Amino acid sequence: MSNFNVTPSGIRDVGFLLEDEAIEQIKMLCHQHLATFHQYPQEKFSGQGIVMCAGGIKYYTCAYVLVKHLRYIGCHLPIEIWHLGNEMSNEMINEIEQYGVKCRNFYDISPTQLSGVMLKPLAMVNSSFKEILFLDADNIPLKDPSFLFQSTEYTQNGAIFWPDYWLTSPENPIWKITECEEYQVPEQESGQILIDKSLCWKALNLALFFNERADIFHKMLYGDKDTFKFAWIFLQQSFHMIVKPVATCGYISDSDGFTGTTMVQHDFSGQPLFMHRNLLKWSVTRPGEKVWKIVRDFIPNAQEKGYELRYSKNGHFYINLTGDIADYSFEELYPQLEQKLLDILNEFRQKPSYARFLQYAHYLDERFDVYNKFTLEV
């Protein structure tokens, strides 16, 4: 994306400025939208659950691995998987719903022009759950994440966010729009978000509005991720940002050196909790390809921090951290995990239904409009 320009020190600078008059107009637009909000509909939502977006072969494959893994580690939370139109065949819906999953179509709620990451807050707003753990489909918890709903940090704030690598430039107009100067608060990484809708209804809907007006806000923010944090800041709504900085997990390549493929997010005590495999998704992982070898992290109170985002000769983007770093072996801590996930992936690919879904996805992409509401069966 054009607004992803990061300095070696980790400052994301979009090179996009606004006059004060334009900033005031955007603030007024936000307040006008907030004036249309109704009270939180108590009768509409209930319970706790996991929400994800996973239409199409790319993200369905990731979701299948994630769902099977969640059940394997003992997570019994109900799950909603949201998709757009005919991105999922009826066969694949039936396949995954046997694991305590409900597949939901955005078009069954209302027509939408949103796509991609912009759909994430729309799924959260319309989910049947009162309390939501949103997970990107390529995100793997290292243990049952259900405990997060009972944490003091969550019950006191109603929202838990996790940090990204970057800081938003102080020159970014979003700071003036939200009337905030806390420039050292890290950007948000939205691969995992914990929200109590009854406490954060207005802020969540404002985040959705920021994505509906991507023509404005995505020029300042990188996709959906910081639309949540800055919506909360705009409303002075409390949230808890995980303190431990994100680390990266990867492997050593002869051509590229350390090659980080996965964001390592932590719990409240600084222990690894989520493996967000955002730079090498399961859908394009080769059979038996292991990449979770080494975790690279900054040491506590690191003074020198460097960030390198590059394209690997192995065919994917990767990140490397430099400066005051420490490495440790992921395989020693979790010796069987990656192989178990690869076994789930292989099991999925061996199903006759997988071959049919590949054909379905091919026809969908090459012959039909993926956003049409009709259901295609092949």
Give pLDDT tens digits for 98-119. Answer: 999 999 999 999 889 899 999 9
The pLDDT tens digits for 290-331 are 999 999 999 999 999 999 999 999 999 999 999 999 999 999
For range 209-230, the mean pLDDT: 95
CA angle (50, 51, 57) in 5-degree steps: 120
Burial of 185 (0-12, 13-18, 19+ CB in 10 A): middle
**Is the model's pLDDT at 16 over the cut of 90?**
no
**Is the model's pLDDT at 375 over the cut of 80?**
no
pLDDT recorded at residue 376: 53
Number of C-beta neighbours around residue 100 at 10 A: 16
Q: Which domains are assigned to the chain? A: 11-241 (3.90.550), 247-284+293-333 (no CATH)
**Is the model's pLDDT at 346 over the cut of 80?**
yes
Residue type at 317? F
The pLDDT tens digits for 127-157 are 999 999 999 999 999 999 999 999 999 999 9
pLDDT recorded at residue 12: 87
Range name among 22-26, 37-41, 212-216, 340-344 with the lowest pLDDT average: 37-41
Report the mean per-residue pLDDT for the chain: 94
Q: Which of these, 219, 225, 224, lies nearest to 172 by C-alpha position? A: 219
pLDDT recorded at residue 339: 98
Model confidence band, residue 80 (pLDDT cutoffs 50, 70, 90): very high
d(CA 190, CA 239): 14
CA dist 273 to 54, 147, 306, 328, 373, Å?
21, 11, 24, 16, 37
The pLDDT tens digits for 242-258 are 999 999 999 999 999 99
Which run of H or of E encompasses 52? strand 48-53
